[in-house]
Structure formats: C-alpha cells, structure tokens
Chains A and B, each alone.
Chain A
C-alpha cells in the first residue's frame, strides 16, 4: 500500500479538474468581489470570523436548465 492511499482513498483533485473544465469564465466572479469574501480573506488571526459559508439551493442550477430549454425552443 502506498502512503497516499494509507492516508485517504479520496481523490478531490480529479473532481476539481472536472468542475473547473466545465466552468464558464467570469461566472461567479461577483462572489469574489463581495464584501464577505474580502473580509474573510483578509481577516487577521483573532479578528473577524475564520469561516465563510456559501448557501445555494439546487434551484440555482435548475433555473439555468429551464432557461436553456426555453431558449432552445425560440
């Protein structure tokens, strides 16, 4: 057994590559420009929260599929 598998069988890197390949350039950039993201990213130890939570419904994705369907029928 290799040390890699001994530590963990999970391969998050493969998933990351897959998602990033399907990502559209520029989509989601508003998250990076948000005050929450900046405050979290720049926070010094002990000041501000160390945690940033992003909540999203599956509806976010569904909306896009529906508009895509409508669009294809135009």
Chain B
C-alpha cells in the first residue's frame, strides 16, 4: 500500500544519502494519532534536539549543561521556549538542517498550531533550515496561515509507474501462480489494464 509516509521515509533516506559527509543534519518526526498525547510541541522539538545533539560523537556541551542543571533542580523537563532556544543554539553552526515531519494532520489541533508557530520561528532564526511536511489536504489552509504562502507544494496521487511496480511485486511474490499458465505476456496485459484503469480514477 502506498501511503504518504512511504514518501516521507523515501525523502528522509534520500536527503541523508545526499548529506553524507557534509555539515548537514537530517531530522525526522512521524506524527501518529495513536500517540497524540505524547506529541506535544515541546516533545517534538525535544526529539529534534535529541537527534541532532546525540547523533554524533558524545553529547553537545550546552545540552549536557542544561541536563545537569535540571537534574540538580529535581529533573524537570525544559519548557517549550527553553527547548527551542537550545535547539537553535545547537543547529546554528550547521550549514543546513532538514526537518521532515510526516502526517502533521495527526497532531492534536492545539499541538499542531503551537508546533507550526515554533517551526516558523526556527526558520527565521536559523536560515539554513529546510522544512519538509506531509499531511492530508484538509489542513492546507492552516499550514498556509502558519508558514506563509509560497511554499513548494506536491500533491501525492497514485502514479502509474508506482502502481505498475506495486502490482509487479505482488505478482512475483505470489507462489500460487503457475508459471506455465501465467505467462509473462499475460502478466504484462494484466498490469497494463489495471494501471490504465487506475489512472482514469
């Protein structure tokens, strides 16, 4: 099944390959309706900071300092404003930071607006930031409002080539097919017909 998060994971892997060996970080978040209570703005930014600061060798100094300070004060987590400042301080030395967020429509509405506000602030304070978001079309208005218009936009629709790949994989993986009865020509015919029907939808 082709879903939006296939696209997200493909984009994340591609960006990571292209960034290899450079002063570039690729950070990712997958929103999930089932985990909506945990996916607050502060936990989302915290997750980004966790990826960028613990990804390399050792823990970055500023993050460690904040952690030690918090531990002495009872171990409470950072507030959203503190988390965002610490994140920006950490990424500002990087040439580029890609933040990829899958299925942003699955966040609770109040968390989503707060998180989008934070993202806009991060882009402003750290101009090397690039944002990749996926979501269902009904949140388009909200995203335009929060992230300003003019963003590059792609509509994910079933692509004929994708359908052919999917069908081909399914047919090859099916052990019940008798190769003498189902010839390659018949497979081609089936795939052609189904792909054409799909593109008419």
Does B121 reach chain A (CB closer than 8 Å)?
Answer: no
**What's the interface size class on B, roughly?**
35 or more
Docked Cα-Cα span, A25 to B2, in Å, equals 12
Contact B140 A55 (CB under 8 A): yes
Chain A: interface residue total (CB-CB under 8 A): 55
Main secondary structure of the interface of B (DSSP, over half): helix
Interface 1/0 per residue, A8-46 and B, CB below 8 Å? 111011011001101111111111101011011101011
Contact A27 B156 (CB under 8 A): no
Docked Cα-Cα span, A54 to B153, in Å, equals 6
Scan residues 37-74 of chain A and give those whose CB is less than 8 A from a CB of chain B: 37, 39-41, 43, 45-46, 48-58, 60-61, 63-65, 67-68, 70-71, 74
A interface vs B, CB < 8 Å? 1, 3-4, 6-10, 12-13, 15-16, 19-20, 22-32, 34, 36-37, 39-41, 43, 45-46, 48-58, 60-61, 63-65, 67-68, 70-71, 74
